[in-house]
Structure 1
């Protein structure tokens, strides 16, 4: 077992030149995508950091306006999902991704000049459309280059980079509050948005010059002819038909893949609500018995994405090692959601118990990497356009539900208990375990069909050879 695991960690490549190829992919694709997602999440999470660090008071926020801004962002993010992934068919990824980064960097810096919550809402809507390109677009690209045995770990590293953006954002805000608050007449939270935008631009430039597009379209100078041919041979040869047609839409909506994976991610996405809605920070700010400093409000919640990073890398690597058993994460999250919600609902539970529950709940972030890797695994034998649309639709469906789910169950004025949200978490966690079981049945059945079809085609090929002889 130990030897097998060490072999796995060293890599699964066995074709001549394959290890060198994968090392190049990791350097040029994974590095850029991780930096892009890190900055994407840094921009996103820093709204909560700014809210906790003076923006609420400076802009005179009322009621659940903070949640309304998140909802507006979610609406824009939802609208952008499928169009952004379809755009990758018509615009080279090395052009499309950096262009979206420049747009959201400019809008992030513009946030520093707002004077009311409504101004932030307008900016965040368009910023969300630009940022929607990153998550689903990257998962589509990773599935185009990496094999089933490599994909989970890379998806995990990519997801962890976004969580790192969430975690580091709190520390950046703490540093700015102590060193730049009031500089040139600007509050520390305003400087946060300016700096976020500035550091995004060099990464966009890097992607423009070095991102390699897809195996069949790459013109990257660092790949030789043999490496380009090897990259194409590593993924199954499938039909490639345009995603903008009525016949394609009919095929898509008749497929169980679309319904199965979209519903899987809708349910799983709501199990992330503890973390994605910044509930620990809101819990601390509204806590009736403990008053926390501004530094504590920014720093303590960073433990949630820290747990998410560890959990994501653990489960992504483990499911790769176990041959792609991504469904195991669905059961882990089901248990985690029920138990942590029950801990918060428990009468008389101490603040320490509540903190423990919120930190443990961060482990549900593991489903991002594993479930999108699962979709890539299952759909790698289908036409590329179907895989692109299913992956985009997964995130679109999740965000469409989250746009109103967060207001109903996790509104900022429900803090610190979020009682309705805890019961909703228990319900969605149980539903996720049930749906995961159904998806496991369907994917196993599909794999058996594929194996039978392959075995039946072998005798036919033999007969043709015999006739020719």
Structure 2
């Protein structure tokens, strides 16, 4: 099949029956709208701390040294604490109630930030906000892996990741608008209004989740899905059976059992993908630590206005959105070759770091080179969607909660490192050049390329031992898709299908 035919086949509906296409359209609407809006609000809250910092909060609260970095580290600590408990909680509490409840908690904490009078107040709030927000990222990847097949997952994970980046991008524009329209209204400065509005935006999304989020195929009671559609959903991704201890009686899947603990501790993919995301997570450091905004705030050659400080850095997440959607689509189209992104990011990290180091060594006005480096570095966000889809693909043969534990541990491991990594290499008082961080990025990028190669070797070894155990290559996906399509056709023809545990 030629390239044009491959592209055409990919963008045609992959579902084998009209009923299955209708099901996917329904879950796309109700799952992706809530998850994407949730993640948008999540990143809007996170990114606007820096937007507030460069828009007057630094001066109003008398920040000094690396207190901004300390606040981000404390948030990360709360985020770490919540990772595994929040994902395992989905085994006992329906996502329809758990996700929106946590959203209301972080909305309240965001609005409370508008009343702070010192950096230490923000530190306390951000710790608990980190715990509440820890539910969103890994919990959503668990839910997406429960509903979508391997040739559908990458695109959906890409849209989810892009929604968070959109929150980062629009945060700057929102701060600019607030600064010009609400600054000093009711006696509140613009950055305080920013936190109030962020929190208010989150509330209706949470209410929407309470009403219409469908949980997982094994536990859904969504009124817009018929019994026939629920059976079809379970048959499409049969490893979801046993995901809910309380509602299905699948006691053997309980994460509080010794059997589950032993299985988790001897699961090689757990360690392999945790290491992958520990390394990959740090390749996002230029963007997650908002280095471009901090560079502009401390620019050695010119002074930027508040609108410029908020607007110019939005180009970084814009690049991230484009690259995320591109690579998520490309790796789906190529049959799950998620490893492509590992090599792209390795190249990006090395070259962009070298560009910033070169700008420093040349002296003078090197803004164009620095801006180009940070904008290009935004493309590393592509690894979020593709690497978590890679982990979901690798764990399809395992019970659902083990898959949930793997994606939770991936994010937790990355944040444990990031909690101190940002202070050591990207502290705010290292601006504008972050020389130490540039060299750290080069080393991390080389490590990512190496570990990606290790995972490719492992997946190919697994495919030789058991071709149906892993769905990460072209020929294996074909077999997996054929099995899914046959099962789905049985349901569509009216036959009773009893999902079986892999």
Q: Same fold (TM over 0.5)?
A: yes
Q: Are the aligned partners of 1:236 and 1:381 in contact in 2 as well (CA < 8 Å)?
A: no
Q: Are the aligned partners of 2:96 and 2:215 in contact in 1 as well (CA < 8 Å)?
A: yes
Distance (Å, rounded) in 2 between the aligned partners of 1:432 and 1:440: 12
2:435 aligns with one of 393, 396, 419 = 419
Instruction: Give the deviation of 1:453 after TM superposition.
Output: 8.2
Q: Are the aligned partners of 1:157 and 1:313 in contact in 2 as well (CA < 8 Å)?
A: yes
> Does residue 264 in structure 1 map to residue 266 in structure 2?
no
2:261 aligns with one of 240, 245, 249 = 249
Instruction: Give the deviation of 1:15 after TM superposition.
Output: 3.3
1:6-405 equivalences under 5 Å are: 6-237=8-239, 240=242, 241-346=253-358, 347-348=361-362, 350-405=366-421
Instruction: Give the deviation of 1:384 after TM superposition.
Output: 1.0
Classify 1:8/1:405 alpha carbon distance in 2 versus 1 (closer, same or farther; 3 Å): same
Instruction: Give the deviation of 1:255 after TM superposition.
Output: 1.3
1:430-469 equivalences under 5 Å are: 430-451=446-467
Distance (Å, rounded) in 1 between the aligned partners of 2:240 and 2:106: 34
Q: Secondary structure at the match of 2:238?
A: coil
Distance (Å, rounded) in 2 between the aligned partners of 1:196 and 1:208: 20
Q: Are the aligned partners of 2:166 and 2:318 in contact in 1 as well (CA < 8 Å)?
A: yes
Instruction: Give the deviation of 1:13 after TM superposition.
Output: 1.0
Q: Are the aligned partners of 1:238 and 1:382 in contact in 2 as well (CA < 8 Å)?
A: no
Classify 1:238/1:444 alpha carbon distance in 2 versus 1 (closer, same or farther; 3 Å): farther
Distance (Å, rounded) in 2 between the aligned partners of 1:334 and 1:243: 36
Classify 1:452/1:222 alpha carbon distance in 2 versus 1 (closer, same or farther; 3 Å): closer
Instruction: Give the deviation of 1:239 after TM superposition.
Output: 6.8
Classify 1:102/1:156 alpha carbon distance in 2 versus 1 (closer, same or farther; 3 Å): same
Distance (Å, rounded) in 1 between the aligned partners of 2:203 and 2:176: 23
Q: Secondary structure at the match of 1:11?
A: coil
Instruction: Give the deviation of 1:16 after TM superposition.
Output: 4.3
Instruction: Give the deviation of 1:238 after TM superposition.
Output: 6.6
Number of paired residues? 455
Distance (Å, rounded) in 2 between the aligned partners of 1:2 and 1:294: 47
Distance (Å, rounded) in 1 between the aligned partners of 2:431 and 2:261: 43
Instruction: Give the deviation of 1:214 after TM superposition.
Output: 0.5
Q: What TM-score comes out, normalization by structure 1 length?
A: 0.95
Distance (Å, rounded) in 2 between the aligned partners of 1:431 and 1:158: 27
Q: Are the aligned partners of 2:84 and 2:408 in contact in 1 as well (CA < 8 Å)?
A: yes
Q: What TM-score comes out, normalization by structure 2 length?
A: 0.89
Distance (Å, rounded) in 1 between the aligned partners of 2:18 and 2:241: 27
Listed one character per residue, the Cα deviations across residues 134-167 of structure 1 (whole Å, up to 9, x for unaligned) are: 0000000000000000000000000000000000
Q: Are the aligned partners of 1:159 and 1:312 in contact in 2 as well (CA < 8 Å)?
A: yes
Instruction: Give the deviation of 1:442 after TM superposition.
Output: 1.0
Q: Are the aligned partners of 2:218 and 2:240 in contact in 1 as well (CA < 8 Å)?
A: no
The equivalent of 1:460 in structure 2 is none
The equivalent of 1:429 in structure 2 is 445
1:407 aligns with one of 409, 419, 423 = 423
Distance (Å, rounded) in 2 between the aligned partners of 1:401 and 1:47: 21
Distance (Å, rounded) in 2 between the aligned partners of 1:250 and 1:442: 22
Which segment is superposed worse, 428-437 or 218-227? Answer: 218-227
Classify 1:78/1:69 alpha carbon distance in 2 versus 1 (closer, same or farther; 3 Å): same
> Can you give the 5+ residue segments of structure 1 that lack an aligned partner in the other structure?
456-469
Q: Secondary structure at the match of 2:211?
A: helix
Classify 1:269/1:23 alpha carbon distance in 2 versus 1 (closer, same or farther; 3 Å): same
Instruction: Give the deviation of 1:226 after TM superposition.
Output: 1.5
Instruction: Give the deviation of 1:32 after TM superposition.
Output: 0.5
The alignment's C-alpha RMSD in Å is 1.4
Distance (Å, rounded) in 2 between the aligned partners of 1:23 and 1:151: 14
